[in-house]
Structure 1
């Protein structure tokens, strides 16, 4: 007589088969992943994933980061890396985040942005905060193709041609324009002044790559204009000369008297 809690060999067979199937599945997973069991990458210390207003958010505020962290979920829509020790943003740092809409890099020590720092975000990124960093200049190419609203306040700007070109490509976050002030590296007459009024009054791209391009264009236009003026002047002179020729009366050719050495012919004529 079998005890109530005892199990017969027939009852143990399904359990053994399930254990064997689980073992086989685990073995296949190990082989498929190159010999190691897959494990989700944990976020860096001080970072966490959250749902804010129904959107996936990755927060790494005040996490002591010195570089852009790895392990950010690729469905992140809002990324906060503010109040860290980030000194630069390399090329393609966020290109693995195809739906990123908002990026906060404020209150770091950013002094350099790669020209391709925001590569891959052209179709999604809408808000970018670069305030309270150490940015003196930024490459114009870093913002090409981005449809963003950006905060550039509280940086020691050189107030150069590059910044003027950037402001022509982006929209400033409301109320942040007055915070774009020329820093110690700017021209002595610009230090401490707000940049927006200066950018509206003065063309800062008169020298350097952007200015050289404009100077070349102007020189080409002037040269073409000079040649056109010469052609017009020649045509006017040609038409005026032809008109004078048509108005001038024809000169009559004088008829010379016929002279003959024969006296008889002369007397006969008389």
Structure 2
């Protein structure tokens, strides 16, 4: 016959460490978002793939080690989006519609993160400090990247996943000849997009200054001509006055008398 224990008797026969472990497991399972599936595999794995999510789920288990958010409709990664997940090791955001990532989006997980997948999204550029302090292997393949100084500075700050590094290509570029080429090959050939950017900026400043100088010169010329025309009209007006000729004759008569 099976012996039935009360709750007090059960916890009295179970070691305290086991009780704490059970409570932690219950708490973690209870915090799992409804749209996700959570399982403990030597670290909490949270699967939220293909759930039509347009934002990152809230109230994720704090002990999440692996977060899988691929194949959803997420468009934007806000600042400190994963700041409550200090144990996060792997983050999969691939196959979404991500167009923008705020600076500090990975603040709080950057030190411990080992894999970050942003492939197959709609990213064309990223803020320079997006990946500050991140030591993870980062996947950026199959995005419509614009090859310019901003992208070059971002790539300088991170470690691209070697398996997909050649799949990070220029969708657009400040020079058309680089469109379609892997970014890593372009940069390895000695191309410096930031130099092009500086030259473009210098040319733009020169054009702006030239236009400004031309406008000032045109205004001065107009001002001088306008004043000359006003002076000419004034002289003609003075000459046309009858009193002017009469006064002149009186003055000549007076002068001859003296």
- Shorter chain as denominator, the TM-score bin is 0.5 to 0.7
Aligned counterpart for 1:206 among listed residues 165, 190, 195? 195
Aligned counterpart for 2:34 among listed residues 39, 44, 49? 44
Contact 1:66–1:87 (Cα < 8 Å) also in 2: yes
Distance 1:161 1:175 in 2: 24
- SS of equivalent to 1:57: strand
**Structure 1 residue aligned with 2:237:** none
Contact 2:70–2:96 (Cα < 8 Å) also in 1: yes
Structure 1 residue 168 displacement after superposition: 1.7
Contact 1:156–1:185 (Cα < 8 Å) also in 2: no
- SS of equivalent to 1:107: coil
Distance 2:185 2:93 in 1: 26
Scaled by the length of structure 1, what TM-score is found? 0.59
Which residues in structure 2 correspond to 1:8-27 (within 5 Å)?
none
What are the ranges of 5 or more consecutive residues in structure 1 without an aligned counterpart?
Answer: 1-39, 213-270
Q: Deviations over 1:5-31 (max 9, x none)?
A: xxxxxxxxxxxxxxxxxxxxxxxxxxx
Structure 1 residue 131 displacement after superposition: 0.4
What are the ranges of 5 or more consecutive residues in structure 2 without an aligned counterpart?
Answer: 1-29, 202-258
Distance 1:123 1:138 in 2: 20
Distance 2:150 2:115 in 1: 20
Aligned counterpart for 2:72 among listed residues 75, 79, 84? 84
Matched, 1:97 2:85: yes
Contact 2:148–2:173 (Cα < 8 Å) also in 1: no
Query: How many pairs does the alignment contain?
Result: 172
What is the Cα-based RMSD across aligned positions, in Å? 2.3
- SS of equivalent to 2:39: strand
Compare CA radii of gyration and give the structure with the larger one: 1
Scaled by the length of structure 2, what TM-score is found? 0.62
Aligned counterpart for 1:173 among listed residues 155, 158, 161? 161
Distance 2:173 2:186 in 1: 16
Which structure dedicates a bigger proportion of its chain to helix? 2
**Structure 2 residue aligned with 1:127:** 115
Contact 1:115–1:139 (Cα < 8 Å) also in 2: yes
